[in-house]
Chain A
Amino acid sequence: MSTLDIKGLQVSVATENGFTEILRGVDLTIKSGETHAIMGPNGSGKSTLAYSIAGHPKYTITGGSVTLDGVDVLAMSVDERAKAGLFLAMQYPVEVPGVSVTNFLRTAATAIRGEAPKVRTWVGEVKEAMAALHMDTNFAERSVNEGFSGGEKKRHEILQLELLKPKFAILDETDSGLDVDALRIVSEGVNRVKANSDLGIMLITHYTRILRYIKPDFVHVFAAGKIVEEGGPELADKLEEKGYAEYTTA
């Protein structure tokens, strides 16, 4: 049992006109096996929350804390956070020309596991995970995210989730740009990892559509840089019906 604890998190980003505060004190605790949906309008700071936890250099932490089982995450470098058990599935995965998916996955797995996976079992492991996500085998020889369709990029993110087996996954708008079939396949992948590993999930989304496939235990409404309402799955139904208007017209 692990706990990801976010307390009073304040984050700013540098702009031409100095620093702009985006997160204004976020409190959120996620335990292993729990799925928390973070829902909110565009520009509310949901992605900033995701990237700040992962350690993107663009964001400056101005207050609060993030701890994983009591250990200060904000003091860690980006790769150390991944090794500690955090995973960010990005909305816009980055192209890395010249680095094959195979080579990338193996290098990442080696870094996370602390030793190179044994070749024989590793090849099978990757093949199986790719098949489960309906990915063509020639995918492995392509450069990371280069020329991938939106759906391929998201499957590739979930493939990494399956292989790297983190304690906590932050899924940033994983549903964006997916058609119904791809959404189902990707969601099944997330559910499979959770079933096998007691993964804790922070599911960031604008729409309720993905929640039909990945059932949240908790729903948090995010607006203007903080959580403004919390509840169970029923809160998502309310958002589906009424939208975010009541949170943004304050």
Chain B
Amino acid sequence: MSTLTSNYLAPTGREEAWRFTPLARVGGLLDASTDLASVNSIKLSKSYADVKLSHKSAADLPAISASDDLATIRAREFLKEVTHIEIAANSSISEPVVLERTNLTGAAQASRTLISCGVNSHSTIILQNTGDAILADEIEFDLAPGSNLTFISLQEWGAKAVHLGRQHAVISKDATFNSIVVTVGGSLVRLLPTVEYSGPGSSADLQGLYFATDGQHLEHRLHVDHNVPNAKSRVNYKGALAGDKAHTVWIGDVYIRANAEGTDTYELNRNLLLSDGARADSVPNLEIETGEIVGAGHASTTGRFDDEQLFYLSSRGIPAEVARRLVIRGFFAEIIGKIKSEDIENRLMERIDSELAKVGA
């Protein structure tokens, strides 16, 4: 029994951070009476030159960032081992490094991974999340000066999966972090793509798409902490919803601290409701402590695929189901195109098409 759990108060749902989440469905991940099993849940799909994966004791590889997220705090508390993935300094990895999940049992588990990108390294990493895990998962990214990482996180979970995750990047001088988060699977996914900077000239581009159908709860809570001067961030998340009780939540917090002069930030969230009974919450927050910035803005829109659009497309001979597919593909094309993989694009769109067909939308 850990020190934390002895004093631990599970969230009630009244907390700002948990007010949207269906806590009854988190599968024990936040329950004081449930211990989380420590698991090394990430493996390389094959070996790659200049990429090293090792397991270290949690004590030897502590977290590089602070977190007040309860799922993360609980995961850290129970962890015995951490997975460490290192991209060699000055390496340029030509093909995407594909990571897969492993050792997931369906019981409440905790996993932590540190991805360290060496000085001036250049890489793309794709994480494929599949199966029916119940997982509190933390992934930290330590981007050394001048490094460039594109991290693609594909939540293609099974229908029962519960995923409470944090993906936090610490971006140092002149480093670039590109994140593409795609969430189409799982019963409940609550992901925290978050960013802080440790040197000027650094940049983060956070892109995401989510697609929720019947009863799915997909929540993305972004946080960009502009804590250094002259850093840049872009956030663009797009979501579509279809079917009864599909629920998505997007929170976009951008914090520009007093010392963060020269900050350039813009965040955008767009949602497309494809049927009645679905609900999209979208909450952009911009907190600015200095006026000496290049730019700061945000926008949030939620629209319907309405009868007039359907009529217009149908009146040109396009059958209703093709019309819906066309609209969704078009809506997601901007994000999905950035993955730069036709195989993944087709796989994701096929999944979206088949789930649309299931809910009869």
A residues whose Cβ falls under 8 Å from a Cβ of B? 54-57, 77-79, 81-83, 87-88, 90, 93-100, 103-104, 107-108, 111-112, 143-144, 160, 164
Interface of B is mostly: helix
Check: B327 CB closer than 8 A to any chain A CB: yes
Which of A90, A100, A112 is within 8 Å of B317, CB to CB? A112
B298-315 at interface with A (beta carbon < 8 Å): 303, 307-309, 311-315
Name the B residues within 8 Å of A87 (CB-CB). Answer: 315
Rounded to whole angstroms, the CA-CA distance of A229 and B104 in the bound complex is 78
* Interface pair A164/B331, CB less than 8 Å apart: no
Chain B window 317-348, contacts with chain A (Cβ cutoff 8 Å), 1 for yes, 0 for no: 11110100011001111100000000000000
Name the B residues within 8 Å of A94 (CB-CB). Answer: 308-309, 311-312
B37-61 at interface with A (beta carbon < 8 Å): none
B77-131 at interface with A (beta carbon < 8 Å): none
* Interface pair B317/A82, CB less than 8 Å apart: yes
Check: B14 CB closer than 8 A to any chain A CB: no
User: In angstroms, how far is the closest chain A Cβ from the Cβ of B311?
Assistant: 6
For the complex of A and B, the 9 pairs showing the least CB-CB separation, nearest first, are A98-B330, A82-B317, A111-B317, A78-B314, A99-B330, A108-B316, A94-B312, A98-B331, A112-B317
B residues whose Cβ falls under 8 Å from a Cβ of A? 303, 307-309, 311-320, 322, 326-327, 330-334
Name the A residues within 8 Å of B322 (CB-CB). Answer: 107, 111
Name the B residues within 8 Å of A77 (CB-CB). Answer: 314
* Interface pair B331/A82, CB less than 8 Å apart: no
Rounded to whole angstroms, the CA-CA distance of A107 and B318 in the bound complex is 7
* Interface pair B331/A97, CB less than 8 Å apart: yes
Residue of A nearest to B301 (CB): A97
User: In angstroms, how far is the closest chain B Cβ from the Cβ of A169?
Assistant: 12
* Given A98-B333, A112-B316, A56 contacting B326 (CB threshold 8 A): no
* Given A57-B311, A97-B331, A98-B331, A111 contacting B316 (CB threshold 8 A): yes
Rounded to whole angstroms, the CA-CA distance of A78 and B21 in the bound complex is 41
* Given A79-B320, A97-B303, A107-B322, A88 contacting B330 (CB threshold 8 A): no
* Interface pair A108/B317, CB less than 8 Å apart: yes
12 further interface pairs, Cβ-Cβ under 8 Å (given A79-B319, A143-B330, A164-B317): A54-B315, A78-B311, A79-B318, A88-B315, A96-B313, A97-B303, A98-B332, A103-B330, A108-B318, A112-B317, A144-B312, A160-B316
Name the B residues within 8 Å of A103 (CB-CB). Answer: 326, 330
Name the A residues within 8 Å of B307 (CB-CB). Answer: 57
User: In angstroms, how far is the closest chain A Cβ from the Cβ of B110?
Assistant: 38
* Interface pair B327/A82, CB less than 8 Å apart: no
Rounded to whole angstroms, the CA-CA distance of A104 and B323 in the bound complex is 9
Name the A residues within 8 Å of B315 (CB-CB). Answer: 54-55, 78-79, 81-82, 87-88, 90
